[in-house]
Amino acid sequence: MPTIVVEVMPKAEILDPQGKAVLGALGRLGKTGYSGVRIGKRFELTVDGEVTDAVLAEVRELADDMLANTVIEDVVSIEVQP
């Protein structure tokens, strides 16, 4: 069954404390070659049937209305995987 993959990231200007904590952990592991870590979300929506334009349009709407909070997050990609 086809899958629609939606990726959401915190907006650049929003502090991402989770990413910051991971960056700190990298430093403590001696991995000092990294200046930033940001953590986002990946949604995989398994579609019943074919991915039509209507389905894609619906997912775009869902991404903005529910999967992401566009006050603090951006939908960075919506891709169909066969």
**Interface with another protein by CB under 8 A: which residues?**
10, 13-15, 17-18, 21, 66-67, 69, 71-72
Q: How far is the CB of 17 from another protein (least distance, A)?
A: 5
CA distance 45 to 57: 13
Q: How far is the CB of 14 from another protein (least distance, A)?
A: 6
Burial tier of 48 (Cβ tally within 10 Å: 0-12, 13-18, 19+): exposed
Is the CB of 14 or the CB of 57 nearer to another protein?
14
Check: CB of residue 9 under 8 Å from CB of residue 18. Answer: no
CA distance 18 to 73: 14
Is the CB of 13 or the CB of 79 nearer to another protein?
13
Q: How far is the CB of 24 from another protein (least distance, A)?
A: 10
